Amino acid sequence: MNSFTGRIAFITGGARGIGLGIARACARAGAKLALVDIDEGALAQARAELSPLTTTETYVLDVRDREAYARVADQVESDLGVVSLLVNNAGVFDNVSPATMDYALWDWVMDINVNGVYNGIQTFVPRMISNGGDHYIVNTASVAGLAMFDAGFLYHASKYAIVGLTESLHAKLAQHGIGVSLLCPGPVATDLVNNTQRLRPEHAPAHSERMAGALERFQADLTNHGTSIDTVGNMVLDAIREGRLYIHTDDSAAPAIVARAEALLAALPSALRIVPESDWRWH
């Protein structure tokens, strides 16, 4: 996808954070915007900012709601036209001790971080295939979907799922003229933790003092040291233009990714001779 002029970009979690950064980059590149978020106030602010740059429509949507998702997709097509760029970006970050793990919290995180992405794919991919032409999908995962950090098992599980989903769709959807990229952000200057706490279910297990402190420190690190959302937005558009599968926002995860790859290789049975892929065979 070399040109964004006149294209319709549908961006979930588009009212702030990484979604807003991608929306800004799309607007500067000439795309029309369908911004989707659960926060009506934040959507109004985003629309006020971006409307002077490009046609911008906003839609309140809980990405967990499949029927509502389909209705919003129909409305976007009526308002703006055919969506050719889908950015599945909405997500939450929560952590809980295994001693207080909870079905309800697991379901909440998975419903947003995994089902929310799949709902976008299920809603739009059949439309993209039917409409023909070139289309593109960007799924936001995390470096926590590539290696282990102290992000908690809930978040790691959800982001590993998005990595596997996106990698497997990359080749399959190429057959239909649909490009796919996987955004794996490191620390980005967003309010991810604070926003999650505002949305957190009332019945979710309370954070311990230690966990609350860790989350507070993580939010401070994002705010003070994270990559800017505008830089990330530009990175995403560059990757789309080049058709790259992986999008990293910094190099901070490199040691952990290398360590994981080395551990996986070291655990292979000794009967497997490590050779170039073109000559793989068992002995």
Give yes or no for residue 18 having a pLDDT over 80. Answer: yes
Q: Is 155 a catalytic residue?
A: yes
**Tell me, what's the pLDDT at 283?**
38
Identify the three-state secondary structure at position 202: coil
Residue 19 CB-half CA count within 13 A: 30
Q: Are 154 and 200 in contact (CB under 8 A)?
A: no
Q: Are 154 and 201 in contact (CB under 8 A)?
A: no
Residue pointed to by tokens 């971080």: 113
Mind listing the domains of the chain with CATH numbers? 8-255 (3.40.50.720)
One-letter amino acid at 133 equals G
**Tell me, what's the pLDDT at 220?**
79
**Tell me, what's the pLDDT at 2?**
85
**Tell me, what's the pLDDT at 11?**
98
Q: What are phi and psi of 15, to 5 degrees?
A: -85, -15
**Tell me, what's the pLDDT at 282?**
41
Strands (E), the chain: 8-12, 32-37, 56-60, 83-88, 135-140, 178-184, 246-248
Return all residues near 193 (Cβ < 8 A) that are at least 6 apart: 93, 215, 216, 218, 219, 222
Q: How confident is the model at residue 71 (pLDDT cuts 50, 70, 90)?
A: very high
Q: Are 203 and 161 in contact (CB under 8 A)?
A: no
One-letter amino acid at 42 equals A
Q: How confident is the model at residue 201 (pLDDT cuts 50, 70, 90)?
A: confident
Mean pLDDT on 39-58: 97
pLDDT above 70 coverage of the chain, percent: 95
Identify the three-state secondary structure at position 264: helix
Which member of 69, 136, 155, 160 is catalytic? Answer: 155
Give yes or no for residue 216 having a pLDDT over 90. Answer: no
98/124: higher pLDDT: 124
Q: Which of 66-75, 89-98, 130-139 has the lowest mean pLDDT?
A: 89-98
Q: Look at the chain and count its residues.
A: 283
Identify the three-state secondary structure at position 95: coil
- Rounded to an integer, what distance in angstroms lies between the CA atom of residue 275 and that of residue 273? 6
DSSP H helices, 32-90, are 40-50, 66-79
- Rounded to an integer, what distance in angstroms lies between the CA atom of residue 29 and that of residue 23? 10
Give yes or no for residue 124 having a pLDDT over 90. Answer: yes
What is the number of other CB atoms lying within 10 angstroms of the CB of residue 207? 19
Buried b / exposed e over 29-65, threshold 16 CB at 10 Å, is bebbbbbbbbbeebbeebeeebeeebbbbbbebbbbe
Question: Which residues are 59's β-sheet partners?
Answer: 36
Q: How confident is the model at residue 196 (pLDDT cuts 50, 70, 90)?
A: confident
> Could you tell me the two tokens for 102?
């909870």
Mean pLDDT on 142-161: 92
Question: pTM, whole model, 2 decimals?
Answer: 0.90
Give yes or no for residue 271 having a pLDDT over 70. Answer: no
**Tell me, what's the pLDDT at 209?**
77
Average pLDDT, the chain: 91
Q: How confident is the model at residue 97 (pLDDT cuts 50, 70, 90)?
A: confident
**Tell me, what's the pLDDT at 273?**
55
